[in-house]
Amino acid sequence: MRLIFEALFLFIVIYYSYHYIILITKMKKSALIPFNKTDLETVRKFPQKSADAPVISKNKLGLTMYAVMLVFLIAMFIFGKYNMKFSWTYLYLLFIPLINARDLLNVFAVYDDGFICGSKFVPWKKLKSFHFKKIDLNHKYYGYSQEVNEGYELILKTKMGSHSFIVTEDEMKERLAGMFEKHIKTG
């Protein structure tokens, strides 16, 4: 039983480490969207502020926190491996912050081969559907600012879940819709 827990733990840590490395390599490349500062202001992960640029220098704190969580989990695994009194059931509680790490970065970027949403890169082949939902009086994001009140919520459905963003300009909405439609048809 202990071998199964160790294998599962290692699989999960390797999975998150792999996505962290992919995220960093994608952030080193130039994005199609956002192309300039006005593009950054029209897309938001959180309604309170516009998205950060998809570069490592603007997201050092979030990337460092993600790496520290991974190193801490690996250190706890090594500690548990050599300490016989260590209970493996408590170790899985440490995954709760890592599961919520998808909102650690305030980043949205579109690339040739996929898009970054928060702290995860999603390839085009995993995108199933998307739709825009108008932000109205009964919407959960209504009331944060005038730009958000007049905007749309972009919901991206993937194989493993969904991601949402706020788009505050009609021009950006049309650009994103065209790009996502093209990749859903080809994928």
Q: Check residue 24 and give its pLDDT.
A: 92
Q: Check residue 100 and give its pLDDT.
A: 78
Q: Check residue 14 and give its pLDDT.
A: 92
Strands 127-134 and 152-158: antiparallel
pLDDT tens-digit series, residues 123-136: 999 989 999 999 88
Most confident of 4-8, 77-81, 103-107, 157-161: 157-161
Tokens of 102: 């998808």
Instruction: Map out the domains of the chain as residue ranges.
Output: 2-186
Q: Check residue 174 and give its pLDDT.
A: 92
Give the pTM.
0.81
How many whole angstroms separate alpha carbon 84 and alpha carbon 143? 53
The per-residue pLDDT of the chain, averaged, comes to: 85
pLDDT grade for 186, boundaries at 50, 70 and 90: low
HEC string for the chain: CHHHHHHHHHHHHHHHHHHHHHHHHHHCCCCCECCCHHHHHHEECECCECCECCCHHHHHHHHHHHHHHHHHHHHHHHHHHHCCCCCHHHHHHHHHHHHHHHHCCCEEEEECCEEEECCEEEEHHHEEEEEEEECCCCCCCCCCCHHHHCCEEEEEEECCCEEEEEECCHHHHHHHHHHHHHHHHHC
Q: What is the mean pLDDT of residues 71-85?
A: 79
Flag whether pLDDT at 22 surpasses 90. Answer: yes
Q: Which residue has the higher pLDDT, 35 or 173?
A: 173
Q: Can you give the length of the chain in residues?
A: 187
